[in-house]
Amino acid sequence: MANRQRKRAQNIIRCFKKAAKLHLIYLVEQKISKIRKSIENTQAPSFLTYEKGKLKVLDSISKNQLLKIEFEQLMLSINTAQISFHDYNNHLDRLLNQIHVISI
C-alpha cells in the first residue's frame, strides 16, 4: 500500500514539474509577442547611407532600433543554443523592462 502511495506521489511531482516547464514556455512566448509588438513598426537601423556618390556613416541610432538589434541577437543565440533557457528568459525580462522605460 505504501508502495502505491509512493508511486502516486512521484507521478504527481513529475506532472507538476512538466506543468511548470510548460507554463514557463507559455510565459516566454507571451514576452516574445509583447516585444515583437512594440518593435514591429521600428525601422531597421541603417549605419551607412550614400548621398551624391559619397559614403556617409550615421552617428546614432534610436533606443527602439537598439532594442530591435538586441532582440534579433537574442533570438539568434537561443536558436543556435549559445545561451541557456534561464538566461534567455532573464534577457527577455530585461528587454521588457527597457521597453517599459522607453514608453514612459
CA-CA distance, 66 to 63, in Å (whole number)? 5
Q: How far apart are the first and last CA of the chain?
A: 60
Q: Whole-model pTM above 0.75?
A: no
CA dihedral 91, 95, 98, 99 (to 10 degrees): -160
- Please give the pLDDT value at position 86: 83
**Rounded Cα–Cα distance for residues 67 and 35 (Å):** 9
Tens of each residue's pLDDT in the chain, 104 residues: 568 888 888 888 888 888 888 888 888 889 889 888 888 887 766 666 667 777 666 666 777 778 888 888 888 888 888 888 888 888 888 888 888 776 65
Taking the C-alpha atoms of residue 59 and residue 7, their distance in angstroms, rounded to an integer, is: 64
